[in-house]
Amino acid sequence: MSAAGDIPKRLLVAIGGNATHPENIAGTSAEQREIAARTARSLLPLALMDNELVITHGNGPVVGKILMRQALARSRIAPMDLDICVAHSQGGIAYLLMQAMENALREAGSQRHVACLLTQVEVDPNDPAFAHPSKPIGPFFTASEARQVEREFGWRMAEDSGRGWRHVVASPRPRHICDVSLVRTLSRRGSVVIAGGGGGIPVVRGPRGVRHGVSAVIDKDFTSALMARVLGIDHLLLLTAVPRVSVNFGTAEQEELDHVGVDRLRALQQQGQFQAGSMAPKIAAAIEFLDSGGREVIVGPLEQAVEALHGDTGTHILAAG
């Protein structure tokens, strides 16, 4: 940032799917409401400022559970396509966040509005990701459970960062955020805007501009980076469940990164330091954002969002240095 402790006047905050739906919960409505309330309390100091604030969020655990419910009920209720499942998860998560944030604002005496926008995101129908599903969604399974799920539902399962096995789906890169002008208009008028949830509803566009959904889940960090670039926002805050980005993770040489330049980060990425399905997408999105003109990306814990912006925690990735 321009000076120690400065808070940017224009900011995009991306909340990880595992931060809004941790692995250690059953996923009841009461649990999700409480997590949304905690998230709102963490972000309240930002929402009370005179700023332009855009919020995105992940949906990996939630959309995977939607698919599981459909699979279990498939003999009674016709299942929905994956793009519609993404839309359901986007709307449900954003509703809880919007309500929790407005409640927190009202309790603090602020009348600031929070708006959530159902967001379509165009992808390339020929993106190689469709042939190589890699995005983990839903709950974790043991290896034997994963084999049973594969046989029963025909899902592709893969091991996820040493934590267990999960369903993997295609995750194409975002190319265009539909109606991003609405995000710009609302944020400039003072509303906190929740958009691009779950990476956006994946769609492709035909030659006459006609869109239709495709079976995929877009990574929310890439969509967040693209949205920030299109909106001209220079600062991107990626909130997750860990305090900092680490290298040599899980070894005696583990190092937590405090401040790091994009060139060193790129070198660490090329060394294979960041795990696919975990930190790797955040690092790749951060590099793309900074390479395209962004000033700073901060990766930090959800509960300490303001402290991360002040430089007291988190990994601060700079365009130069």
* 239 pLDDT more than 70: yes
Q: Is residue 143 part of a domain?
A: no
Q: Is residue 151 part of a domain?
A: no
Q: Is residue 242 part of a domain?
A: yes
Q: Is residue 155 part of a domain?
A: no
Mean pLDDT, residues 245-256? 89
Q: Is residue 5 part of a domain?
A: no
Phi, psi of 14 (to 5 degrees): -110, 125
What is the residue-wise DSSP string for 215-246? Answer: S----HHHHHHHHHHHHT--EEEEEESSSS-E
Q: Is residue 166 part of a domain?
A: no
Calculate the alpha carbon distances from 42 to 15, 184, 305 in Å. 11, 24, 6
- Give pLDDT tens digits for 81-138: 999 999 999 999 999 999 999 999 999 999 999 999 999 999 999 999 999 998 888 8
Q: Is residue 161 part of a domain?
A: no
Q: Is residue 172 part of a domain?
A: no
What is the residue-wise DSSP string for 244-276? Answer: S-EESTTSTT-EE-SEEEHHHHHHHHHTT-S-T
Crossing angle of the two packed helices 60-72 and 82-107, in degrees rounded to 10: 130
| Alpha helices (H) in 52-179, listed in sequence order | 60-72, 82-107, 143-153
- Give pLDDT tens digits for 7-59: 899 999 999 876 677 777 888 999 999 999 999 999 999 999 999 999 999 99
- CATH code of 294's domain: 3.40.1160.10
Q: How many domains does the chain have?
A: 1
Please enumerate in sequence order all residues whose Cβ is within 8 A of that of 313, keeping only pairs 6 or more positions apart, or say none. 243, 244, 300, 301, 304, 307
Full residue range of the structural domain in which residue 83 is found: 10-122+177-318
Report the distance separating Cα 44 and Cα 305, nearest Å. 10
Please enumerate in sequence order all residues whose Cβ is within 8 A of that of 12, keeping only pairs 6 or more positions apart, or say none. 54, 55, 56, 224, 227, 228, 231, 233, 235, 236, 237
Report the distance separating Cα 61 and Cα 139, nearest Å. 6
Hey, which residues are catalytic here? 17-18, 135, 220, 282
